Amino acid sequence: MDWQNIFATRMSRMKASEIRELLKLLDQPDIISFAGGIPDPALFPTKAFQDALADALSPANSSAALQYSVSEGYGPLRDWIVDQMAALGVPCSRDNVLITSGSQQALDYLGKLMLSPGDTALVSWPTYMGALGAFNAYEPNYDRLIPGGNRSAGDYTATAEAAGGRVKFAYASVDFANPTGETLDLKARENILDLADDLDIAVIEDSAYQSLRYDGDPIPPMLALEVARKGSINDCRTLYCGSFSKSLAPGLRVGWVCGAASVISQLVLMKQAADLHSSTLNQMAINSVARSVFADHTATLRRTYAARCDTMLAALAAHMPEGVTWTKPEGGMFVWLTLPKHMNGGDLLKASLETQKVAFVPGQAFFADRSGANTLRLSFSLADDAKINEGMKRLGAAIRAAL
C-alpha cells in the first residue's frame, strides 16, 4: 500500500525536529553537547515530587488522581496560576486558564483554532522551531514580524491576501527567546500590540522562560500591558502560554494558556476532542510542588544558569575568532551565534562532530524561510564550567578550520 496517496496534504509540511534528532547525541559520552535546550536534571526538585505523588496516590486522594477529570484542568492548579498571573499584572479567574499538556500543545491548539490553509502567521526571524512545527500542520504562510519596523498593517494585509489568506496572529517569545536568548523591550511589546490592533489579529505570547530572568529589570508581559490598556482580560487579544517544563520539570508535560474566556472556551472544545484532559495525577503533583517550592526552586535555577551563562560568554570571548558575534541574554538557556556570511552552520556541525566532538543546533531550522544558514544556537543549561570552557575552545577551533 502506498500510504503517501492517502496522507493529508498537511503531512508535506511536517518535518522531523532537528533538535529532537540531535538529542540522541547526548547518549554518546565523548560528545560535548550544547544542542538540547533542556533543564539540568540534577536541579529537579525530586524530593518534592516524590512527596507530592505519594500524597496524590494516598487513600484520601487516589480516586481523584486516577480518575477522569474536567477538560479545563485541575482547579487548585488553575487557582495557583491565577495568583501567578495576578502577580505579573494580569487579573483573571479560573475561566481564563486552560491546562495543556505542555505549552507545545497550547501552540498546536492555537494554530488549529486560528489558521486555515493559506492564512499568514507573523513570526520573528528566527523563531522557536517548535512553534513552526505546531503551526505547519495547518498549512499557513509566514511573514516576518519586526516590532517597530517600517512595514504598515496595510503591507502585511496585502502580502497575506496575495498569498491566498489573511493575517491571523503574531507569535512572539518575549523573554530570553528560544533560540536567540534575546528579550523584547517594552517599546517592542507595545509595537506588537499596536500592530495587532491595526490588523485586528490575535497575539500569541510564548513565555516558557519568564521565571528564568537573572539579569536586568523585569518587563511586563504583553498580556499585562494590554490589560492595562483595555481594563479586562476578556477584552484582550493576547493569549499567554506558560509552562512548568523549564521551571519545575518537563517530563510531567504541564503548561497553560491564559486569555479571554471566550477563547479559552473554544480551546476547551479542542481539548475534549484531542485528549479529554491532561494527566490529573501530573497536575496534582505540579500543584503541590509549585505551592511548596516554586519561589525557592526558581531562585536556585536563576543562580545556577546565570553562572553558566557568564562562563559561556567569557569562553566565547576567549576562543571565538574574529567575525563571530553572539547575543548576551538576561535569562533563559541560550546564546545565539552569528558566523561570517559565507559559512554554513549545518556544515560546521558535521565537521565539529567529526573533529572536535562538539554538538550544537544549526540556526537555519529556526527561520520560516530557511535563511540564517550562518547561525547556530548554543545551550548552557546542561554543562558545567569545565565542559563549557573546553567546548568553546573546541568550537572555536572548528570555526577557525572552516574559515
Where in the chain are the domains? 3-45+295-402, 68-292
277-288 b/e with 16+ CB inside 10 Å = b?
bbbbbbbbbbbb
Residues sharing a CB contact under 8 Å with residue 12, sequence separation 6 or more, in sequence order? none
Note the pLDDT of residue 1. 82
Query: Fold match between 3-45+295-402 and 68-292?
Result: no
For 65, the 3-state DSSP assignment is helix
Nearest alpha-carbon partner for 295 in 117, 38, 84: 84
What integer pLDDT is reported at residue 19 of this predicted model?
58
Question: Is pTM, for the whole model, over 0.85?
Answer: yes
Neighbours of 17 (CB within 10 A): 13
Alpha carbon distance 320, 303 (integer Å): 26
Instruction: Select from 3.40.190.10, 3.40.470.10, 3.40.640.10, 3.40.50.2020 the CATH code of 68-292.
Output: 3.40.640.10
Between the CA of residue 214 and those of 187, 270, 335, 381, 390, what are the distances in Å? 21, 36, 14, 13, 24
Q: In terms of Cα–Cα distance, which of 160, 162, 161, 179 is closest to 170?
A: 160
Question: Per-residue confidence of the chain (403 residues) as pLDDT tens digits?
Answer: 888 788 887 777 666 665 555 556 656 778 999 998 899 999 999 999 999 999 999 999 999 999 999 999 999 999 999 999 999 999 999 999 999 999 999 999 999 999 999 999 999 999 999 999 999 999 999 999 998 888 899 999 999 999 999 999 999 999 999 999 999 999 999 999 999 999 999 999 999 999 999 999 999 999 999 999 999 999 999 999 999 999 999 999 999 999 999 999 999 999 999 999 999 999 999 999 999 999 999 999 999 999 999 999 999 999 999 999 999 999 999 999 999 999 999 999 989 998 999 999 999 999 999 999 999 999 999 999 999 999 999 999 999 999 9
pLDDT at 28: 73
DSSP string computed for 32-59: EE-------GGGS-HHHHHHHHHHHTST
What is the per-residue pLDDT for 335? Answer: 98
Report the candidate in 242, 261, 217 with the shortest Cα–Cα distance to residue 81: 242
Integer Cα distance of 81 and 88 in angstroms: 11
**Are 373 and 364 a contacting pair, CB within 8 Å?**
yes
pLDDT tens column, 314-372: 999 999 999 999 999 999 999 999 999 999 999 999 899 989 999 999 999 999 999 99
State the pLDDT at residue 9: 79
pLDDT of residue 24: 62
Q: For 34-56, how does the pLDDT look when each residue is reduced to its tens digit (9 = 90+)?
A: 998 899 999 999 999 999 999 99
Q: Which CATH superfamily is domain 3-45+295-402 in?
A: Aspartate Aminotransferase, domain 1 (3.90.1150.10)
**Nearest-angstrom CA–CA distance, 345 and 132:** 19
Exposed / middle / buried, residue 273 (Cβ in 10 Å: 0-12, 13-18, 19+): exposed
Task: State the Cα–Cα distance between residues 331 and 220, nearest whole angstrom.
Answer: 15
- Whether a cis peptide bond, with omega within 30° of 0, leads into 179 is yes
d(CA 52, CA 45): 11
Residue 315 makes CB contacts below 8 A (sequence gap 6+) with: 388, 389, 391, 392, 393
